[in-house]
Amino acid sequence: MTVAQVALYARVSSEQQAEDNTIASQLAELRVRIRADGFDLKTVLEFIDEGYSGSTLVRPALERLRDVAAAGELDRLYVHCPD
């Protein structure tokens, strides 16, 4: 049986949001969902961009995520809010 490669992506767009730990709450919710779906959190790839605006698609973690997906190394992606 092949094990699915799972990843999560989280982003906050401002320093204020980063300081308010909204990234931590996003990550907590994503991890709860991933666990509920039966995946081992130790194997989940995490891509996190803190302080990057949603108006640009040039974000370091998003770029790495795209590379992994383009290489076909990803089976499922969890995102708190796709906007």
Clarify whether 13 is annotated catalytic: yes
Residues near 46 by Cβ (< 8 Å), separated by ≥ 6?
7, 8, 10, 27
Tell me what pLDDT residue 64 has.
95
Q: What is the pTM of this model?
A: 0.82
Q: Which stretches in the chain have pLDDT values below 50? A: 1
- Residue 46, Cβ density class (10 Å: 0-12 exposed, 13-18 middle, ≥19 buried): middle
Active-site position among 13, 25, 53, 55:
13
Please, which residues bridge with residue 8 across strands?
46, 78
Q: Structural domains in the chain? A: 6-79 (3.40.50.1390)
Question: Cα separation of 1 and 53, whole Å?
Answer: 40
- pLDDT for position 4: 83
Find, among 57, 58, 60, 39, the residue nearest to 48 by Cα: 60
